[in-house]
Structure 1
Amino acid sequence: MINVLCFGDSNTNGSNPAGGRHPRDVRWPGRLQRLLGDDWYIIEEGLGGRTTVFDNPVEPHRSGIEALPGALITHRPLDYVILSLGTNDMKAMFHADERVIAAGLDMLVHEVKITDNRGAPTPRIVVVSPIYLRPDISGSGFIGFEESAVELSHKLAREYRRVAEQQGCLFLDAAQITEASDLDKLHMDGDNHAKFADAMAALLRDDWVARH
């Protein structure tokens, strides 16, 4: 089995902009499993509100750097780790610009590299730059987002790509493939989950074939 850990936030968890949660066969990790087939094992590890490294006093237990080591140890040996975080780092309470958020992402990459993979090689890491937030995010009802986060969301890809290149990771800019729904300004609808899964499946397949 080719084991893939999908470590992310509410868009990995499948928050539905119309309310509730998308079914597993709609969420991108579930679609990815179907696209890649039985030789692959897709592990869904998404949590709404999760950040790269920040503790949120209003939403506790959301720091990615605290949760990632346990997930890596639980599911090892892993062949791929997909890191899809950064959206929640843009909340005003964290006062983080694109370079700070990318530095948090870089810490997650480092954590993957230093965690023992049960004797197997270090997993290939996929860095995912988040989708853009839509205008009027401050009026969406999600606590913490101010309108300045919309502009910030457009600045992340360049910094994330730099981290990926420096650390030898694969890179996917989700904003060039998918978009947030206009219903809640933040989450993907089913069609966009499908687009994301298609792009991720192609990236993983191509990389696996190239290395084997």
Structure 2
Amino acid sequence: MHQILVYADSLSWGIIPDTRGRFRFDQRWPGVVENALLNAGTSVRVIEDCLNGRRTVWDDPFKPGRNGREGLEKCMEINSALSLVIMLLGANDFQSMHNLTAWQSAQGLKALVGAIRRAPIEPGMSVPAIMLVAPPKLEKAKGSIAPKFKGAEDKAVGLADAIQAVAAECGCHFFDAGSVTPTSRVDGVHLDEDQHRTLGLALAKVIQPLVQ
């Protein structure tokens, strides 16, 4: 059986836009990926480590533990052996309390790639492949999260290209979620239920050859 770790934020945790509710596992994209691969005959388990508000390598001044570098190597050790690690991060780097660029966010992902590759896995276990997934292009945030993401749509311009460049530099697989879905119609940042399904089905097609 292949194990895939999804290390991500609220876009993958499956927050229902403009609520504090959560989509079911089979509704959010990691679950869609698992079910699609199982239905295609691939023996796979998708493990979610998705935290609302997780940045790449920056702290949240209001909530502890949102720095993606914290605990990542331990997470690798806990969940090994892994065939693939998928990271969909970056949106929270552009919250209103941060003044970051797309290049800086992508460099944060580069640091996380390094952490994955130096994690203390058991002897004989191979270092997993890594896929960097760029979040869909951020739109102007609406609803209750609007103050938190004020100006994010401008700061995040060029994020997908910057992540793709890091993926090429680090020898990682890359997928642009924005190539198959926009962000939520409700809040402009997260994913609606149908968008989770669209993304999950698209990712399953890309992942299947990697876990044969």
Pairwise same-fold verdict (TM > 0.5): yes
Q: Is the 8 A contact 2:130 2:172 kept in 1?
A: yes
Per-residue deviation, 1:99: 1.0
Tell me which amino acid in the other structure corresponds to 2:12: T
Equivalences, count? 206
> Matches of 2:111 and 2:47 in 1, distance apart?
21
1:95 deviates by: 1.3
> Aligned equivalents of 1:69 and 1:117: distance in 2?
9
Q: Give 1:2's aligned residue.
A: 2
1:110 to 107, 114, 122: 114
CA contact (8 A) 1:73 1:115 kept: yes
Partner Cα separation in structure 1 for residue 202 and residue 154 of structure 2 = 25
Aligned residues of 1:3 and 1:80 also touching (Cα < 8 A)? yes
How many Å separate the matches in 2 of 1:21 and 1:51?
Answer: 20
Aligned positions of 1:18-167 closer than 5 A: 19=19, 20-37=21-38, 39-118=43-122, 119-135=124-140, 137=141, 139-142=142-145, 143-147=147-151, 149-167=152-170
**Distance in 2 (alpha carbons) for counterparts of 1:14 and 1:197:** 12
Deviation, structure 1 residue 73: 1.1
Q: Percent identity?
A: 33
Deviations 1:121-170 (A, max 9, x none): 210000011112222x1x532243222x1133331011100110011100
Per-residue deviation, 1:18: 5.1
RMSD: 1.4
Match of 1:189 among 187, 192, 206: 192
Greater fraction of residues in helix: 1
Shift of 1:45: 1.0
| Structure 1 unaligned regions, length at least 5 | none
SS of 2:196's equivalent in the other structure is helix
TM-score by length of structure 1 reads: 0.92
Task: Please tell me whether the aligned partners of residues 78 and 117 of structure 1 are also in contact (alpha carbons under 8 angstroms).
Answer: no
Instruction: Tell me the TM-score normalised to structure 2 length.
Output: 0.92
| Structure 2 unaligned blocks of 5 or more | none
